Amino acid sequence: MKLLCLKHWLVVLLITCVYPLNAQKQQLTDAQIVKFNSLGIVHQPIRVLYWLNDSQAVLGVPENRATDSQPKLMLVDAKKKTMAPYNGTAYAPNLTPRVITKDNILYLINAASDTTKVVDIKDEITNPTLSPNGQYVAFTRNNDLYTLRIADKKETRWTFDGSDVILNGYASWAYMEEILGRFTAYRAFWWSPDSKYIAFFHSDDSETPLFTITEANGQHGRIESLRYPKAGDNITKVWLQMLNLEAGKIIKAEEPLVNGKIHDDRYLGTPIWRSDSRGILMQWMNHGQDYLKLFDVNAETGKIEELYSEKQKAWISLDTDNRVHYLDSGKGFILQSDKSGWNHLYLHNTDGKLINPITSGEYTVKSILHIDEKNKTIYFTCQKDNITFNDLYRVGFDGEKLQCLTFGEYNHAVSLSSNGEYFITSYSNHTTPARVDLYTNTGKLILGLDNTKGKDFDSYILPKVELVKVKAKDGKFDLPMKVIYPLNMKEGEKYPVIVSTYGGPNAPRLRGGWALTNSQCWYAKEGVIQVTVDHRGSGHFGKIGTDYMHRNLGYWEMEDYIQCVQWLIDNAQADPDKVCITGFSYGGYISSYALGYAPEVFTHAMAGGSVTDWLLYDAPYTERFMDSPQENPEGYKSSSVFTHLPNMKGKLLIYHGEIDENVHVQNTIQLVSKMQDLGKDFEMMIFPSNRHGWRGTKRDFENKMRMEFIYKYFLEKPIPEILRTAESAVGGAGSY
């Protein structure tokens, strides 16, 4: 039977966990809510660890289904339609071998997960990375690039100018954070598929301002310095170079002439090797981040050839994952771009000429899972039939025969077999716990693998969950909002509201899957309306929506959030005198911004790790959306929390990590100073020796601090004793 996705999102999706009360239904006790995750109401789902081959996958089944502990291993066989215990390892035998360092020793872990000592390490190294052929290890030491030949342990140093400002194969902080990605751990070198070349960034941070971070630990404290370009500052200068191991030489990629001249005040994105290793793709972006060029760089000579050019009115995100997928056949590449207003796929030939668009329409392609060149078919995930749900689709290279392989009003987390013939989906929605099933690539069910809905799910009264769409004030967008209602609501009574958000461009907070927690159950029992909401620029509405935020951060987020709060007042018995907004990082920015921008709407805020003025944040991120302060002084002024502080009336709880190297605690210190000068009421907490987020006892303390805030100002009563003594206390509502 052919399974197709629903093609329209209902104006209001209302599926609740609340059924007509009967003798079997019972309220959760306080003790049960605190231990909600271990009650057996909902289990942790089985997870796909890896595909063993084209038809067999290894699954992880948590020993304790409530806590997702060390998993038991199961093998599912798509051809035999069976699932049975697996005696192999938790690491895929067909994974690429890798190297690790431990106790100053370099180890090789082979495809069978066997560990072998390679060599003792005399001096500290970073990011050891095995070559594809397994013969070399590349790494950086003191910002210079090295290789180690495994056969004879010969170490070779290739660069000699590494320093605190000259970096070879090691990324600057801003490049790691905003362009290459945190997962790189500052690695800025890339092996070619044939192991003959290493492409790497040669970076110059000498003109980037130095920011000093102080830590209070110890008798004399500690000072940490970081090259950190803030909005309007000089940015890191980066050049692409290629190391030819056989020739023993380094070739510098040519610098392109753009508008008749060479620009070193620009950005380079992650380079992408061609499958034949004869060239590498260089992603070039102007300082204003609205002009992208892609160049094919000859690995032998460094000569460049332009393949693609794109310019947009607002910005282009250089940190886009997998912008280009080279075909293994060498006959072209597939490009992802949001130039149409929505992220889509385009087929290009080897010289960059567009052959045809592959996908089109008012929906967002999320990621490519498999390219079947033999059948000229692409498998990808997207948000097409519901902007908060992911689905699996396939389509021909020519854009024909677009087909949805998943089903229903669910969010699908899909794992596809290596040849694309089978997939496992973990699917759920806001009111339906996850199921995990195995399907063919035509959407035919093979085997049910897991149902996380526990045996006691229908025995208890759980909070009502509603997903609604709120019409924006200008009528251009239907804003998604998830509402968790209080238990036992009474007609005519008003209830306090906690709005949880992030707010950043193309960073949705509202996900489509099941996510009911003990915290949400507790505050529903206490009579709090809990809301998660996304604005027009969150990514749900493609680049068309995010472009509204250009040069004007803060404004459209607030306009859309205000409209959603008004909907709650008009339709959900919300108390207009108790509306709290909360978030961390960008969410901390928008939460502290709200109290001054819309004091008549937002009465309370809990803001963590907050940017308080965009002049204080890093240049690559800030200028992408705001342009430079010199170009957009009014935008920086209107987007600053400081500008709106005189209007602030409500209560603000603000907290920050002492040595946060991402959003500097300077943001909070300056905010506190200005609030003191204005006589504004606030509460503040610093988390010593912590950065942009924290775990363990510090996280427990934060949860209790937020809980104190809610009980004191919203519920206006003492915290119940069970929350003070519970081993795992309920967290603060809306915590990140």
Per-residue pLDDT at 66: 52
How far apart CA 611 and CA 605 sit, in angstroms, is: 14
DSSP state of 669: H
Q: What is the mean pLDDT of residues 297-301?
A: 96
pTM: predicted TM-score of the whole model, two decimal places? 0.92
Q: What number of H helices and E strands is found in the chain?
A: 12, 46
Q: Give the residue from 319, 352, 367 where a domain finishes.
A: 319
Which pLDDT does position 18 carry in this prediction?
A: 39
- Phi/psi for 690 (5° steps) reads -120, 155
Chain centroid to CA 93 = 28
Q: Which amino acid is at 693?
A: G
Using a pLDDT cut of 70, give the percent of the chain over it: 93
In a domain, 666, yes or no: yes
Residue at which a domain ends, from 287, 303, 319:
319
pLDDT (0 to 100) of residue 503: 92
Q: Which CA distances in Å does 24 have to 18, 28, 39, 458, 635?
A: 13, 12, 16, 8, 58
Residue 101 pairs in a beta bridge with 106
Instruction: Tell me what the mean pLDDT of segment 166-192 comes to.
Output: 96
R_g of the chain, CA atoms, integer Å: 27
| Domain-embedded: residue 347 | no
Across 312-376, the runs of DSSP E, i.e. the strands, are 324-326, 333-337, 344-348, 354-357, 364-372
DSSP state of 413: E
Q: Report the DSSP pairing between strands 47-51 and 651-657.
A: unpaired
Placement of tokens 């500690």 in the chain: 222
End-to-end CA distance of the chain: 41
Cβ atoms of 532 and 508 within 8 Å: the answer is: no
Which two tokens mark 515? 């996510």
Looking at the chain, the whole-number percentage of residues with pLDDT higher than 90 is 79
pLDDT digits (tens, 9 = 90+) for 590-610: 999 999 999 999 999 999 999
Assign 319 a pLDDT band (cuts: 50, 70, 90). Answer: confident
Q: Between β-strands 411-416 and 422-429, what pairing exists: parallel, antiparallel or unpaired?
A: antiparallel
Q: Rounded CA gap, 716 and 710, in Å? A: 8
Rounded to the nearest 10°, the torsion over CA 718, 681, 583, 662 is -130
Average pLDDT over residues 711-726: 88
Banded model confidence at residue 92, pLDDT cuts 50, 70, 90:
low
What are the backbone dihedrals phi and psi of residue 129, each rounded to the nearest 5 degrees, phi first? -135, 125
Q: Is 409 left (phi over 0), alpha (psi -120 to 50) or beta?
A: beta
Alpha-carbon distance of 597 to 265, in angstroms, equals 35
**How far apart are the C-alpha atoms of 638 and 290, rounded to whole Å?**
22
Element (H, E) at 332: none
Q: Residue 579 and residue 577: Cα distance in Å, rounded?
A: 6
* H or E segment to which residue 705 belongs: helix 696-710
Burial of 62 (0-12, 13-18, 19+ CB in 10 A): middle
- How far apart are alpha carbons 41 and 455 in whole angstroms? 7
Averaged pLDDT for residues 111-137 = 89
Phi-psi region of 143 (alpha: psi -120 to 50; beta: other; left: phi over 0): left
Number of structural domains the chain divides into:
2
Statement: residue 169 has pLDDT above 80: yes
Do the Cβ atoms of 242 and 250 come closer than 8 Å?
yes
| The predicted structure's pLDDT at residue 295 | 97
**What number of residues does the chain have?**
736
Long-range (24+ apart) CB contacts under 8 A made by 703-706 are: 703/729, 703/730, 703/731, 703/732, 703/735, 704/729, 704/732, 705/653, 705/655, 705/732, 706/582, 706/606, 706/653, 706/731, 706/732, 706/733, 706/735
**662 pLDDT exceeds 90?**
yes
DSSP-assigned states of every residue in 99-143: EEEETTEEEEE-TT--EEEEEE-SS--EEEEE-TTSSEEEEEETT
**SS3 for 254?**
coil
Residues 259 and 220 sit within 8 Å (Cβ to Cβ): no
Tell me if 429 is assigned to some domain: no
In a domain, residue 120? The reply is yes
For residue 532, give Cα distances in angstroms to 329, 528, 535, 583: 45, 13, 10, 11
| Domain end (from 295, 319, 343) | 319
Q: How far apart are CA 490 and CA 498, in angstroms?
A: 19
6 pLDDT band (50/70/90 cuts)? very low
| Structure confidence by residue, pLDDT tens digits, 343-366 | 999 999 999 999 999 999 999 999
- pLDDT band at residue 91 under the 50/70/90 scheme: low
The 3-state secondary structure of 341-356, one letter per residue:
CCCEEEEECCCCCEEE
β partners of residue 166: 204
DSSP at 234: P
Domain containing residue 115: CATH number: 2.140.10.30
Strand boundaries in 501-610, DSSP class E: 529-533, 574-584, 604-608
- What average pLDDT does this structure show over 233-243? 97
Quickly state the pLDDT bin for 94 (edges 50, 70, 90): low
Per the domain annotation, does 192 fall within a domain? yes
* 146: nearest Cα among 189, 114, 117, 180: 189
3-state SS of the chain: helix, strand, coil percent to 5?
20, 35, 45
- For residue 255, give the H/E element and its range: none
**What six digits make up the tokens of 583?**
């978030």
Helix axes 586-597, 555-571, angle to 10 degrees: 70
In a domain? residue 52: no
- The CATH number of the domain holding residue 650 is 3.40.50.1820
Is the pLDDT confidence value at 1 over 50?
A: no
Structural domain harbouring 468? 461-725
Q: Residue 596: inside a domain, yes or no?
A: yes
SS3 at position 422: strand
Q: CA 706, 708, 711 angle in degrees (round to 5)?
A: 110
Structure tokens at 26: 């019972």
pLDDT band at 39 (very low <50, low <70, confident <90, very high): confident
Q: How confident is the model at residue 4 (pLDDT cuts 50, 70, 90)?
A: very low
Q: How confident is the model at residue 410 (pLDDT cuts 50, 70, 90)?
A: very high
Which pair of tokens denotes residue 617?
A: 């944040």
* pLDDT exceeds cutoff 60 at 684: yes
Q: Are 610 and 589 in contact (CB under 8 A)?
A: yes
pLDDT beyond 60 at 102 = yes
> Does a structural domain hold residue 102?
yes
Average of per-residue pLDDT values in the chain: 91
Alpha-carbon distance of 510 to 534, in angstroms, equals 6
- Residue 256 buriedness (CB in 10 A; 0-12 / 13-18 / 19+): middle
What pLDDT, on a 0 to 100 scale, did the predictor assign at position 732?
65
> 43 vs 39, which has greater pLDDT?
43
Confidence grade of residue 643 (pLDDT, cut at 50, 70, 90): very high
Spatial distance between the Cα atoms of 281 and 256, rounded to a whole number of angstroms: 13
